[in-house]
Amino acid sequence: MHEPTDTPAPRRTGRWRTGEQSRQRILDAARARFAQDSYERATVRAIAADADVEVAMVYYFFGSKEKLFAAALNVPEHPLQQLQILLEEGLDDIGHRLVRRCLELWDTGSFEPVLALWRSGAGLKLSQSKMAVLKTTLQPSLDRLAGEYGMDDAELRLELVMTYLMGLVIARYQLKLDHIAAADREDLVAWHGPTVQHYLTSPAPASSTRPGP
C-alpha cells in the first residue's frame, strides 16, 4: 500500500501571471488618473497608455470605464475596509484608532476613493452608484458589529462614520482648509476620535428612528 503523498498545487501559467500583472497596472493607472483628472476628464485611452497596454485590454478586463472606476474604488488596504481588523482589539478606543489609520493612509498620498468621488464632478447619479460600491466593501465590518457586538443599528452607525470621515478627508486634502490642512495628525486624532467613537459605541438617541428595511 502506497503512502499518500502531498500533491503540489498546480502552478499558474505564465499567461495568467502576465494577465494579472496587466490588470493590476491598469488599476494603478486608473487610480492615478481618476485622482488627478476626475472621472469625467480621465480617458480610457490615457489610462491604457499609462499602464502600457492596448485600449482593448482595458475593456477586456473591465468592460467599461464606469466598471473600471468601480473596481478602482475597491482599495483592500483602506482602513474603512479593514475596520473588522481593528475590531479584533475590541471597541475600546476604536474611534481614535480608526481616525489614526485613515490619516496615516491619507498623509502618504495613497489613492482615496472618497476624493475620487468628490473630484468626479457634478455627476450625482454616478457618485451615488459608486457610494454603493464603497458601502459593499464595509459589509465584513457591518457583519461583525451586528453579530459579535449585537448592534441592530450597525449600518446606520457605519454610515455616520463614513460620512464624517468623508468631511475630514475633503477638508484636509481637497479644500485644504488652513487649520485642518496644517494640523498635526495626532491633534486631529484627538479632536475627531471621540466623535467616531461616539458613533460606533454610544447608545442611540432616545428619539432616534431607524430606517425601514
Cell 478606543, residue?
A: 93
Examine the domain organization and report whether 59 and 94 are in the same domain: no
For the full predicted model, state whether its pTM sits above 0.85.
Answer: no
- Write out the residue range of the structural domain in which residue 50 sits: 14-72
Give the pLDDT of residue 113.
82
Residue 89 has φ and ψ, to the nearest 5°, of -90, 10
Counting the structural domains of the chain, the total is 2
| Number of other CB atoms surrounding residue 49 within 10 Å | 14
Examine the domain organization and report whether 68 and 107 are in the same domain: no
In a domain, 4, yes or no: no
Angle at 128 between CA 125 and CA 131, to 5 degrees: 150
In a domain, 206, yes or no: no
Nearest to residue 173, comparing CAs of 80, 81, 77, 107? 107
Give the pLDDT of residue 9.
46
Per-residue pLDDT of the chain (213 residues; tens, 9 = 90+): 544 444 444 444 455 567 899 999 999 999 999 888 888 889 999 999 999 999 999 999 999 998 898 888 888 878 888 888 899 899 999 999 999 999 998 999 888 887 887 776 544 455 566 666 666 777 888 888 889 889 999 999 998 998 899 899 999 998 999 999 999 999 999 999 999 999 999 999 987 655 555
Examine the domain organization and report whether 113 and 185 are in the same domain: yes
Q: CATH number for the domain including 65?
A: 1.10.10.60
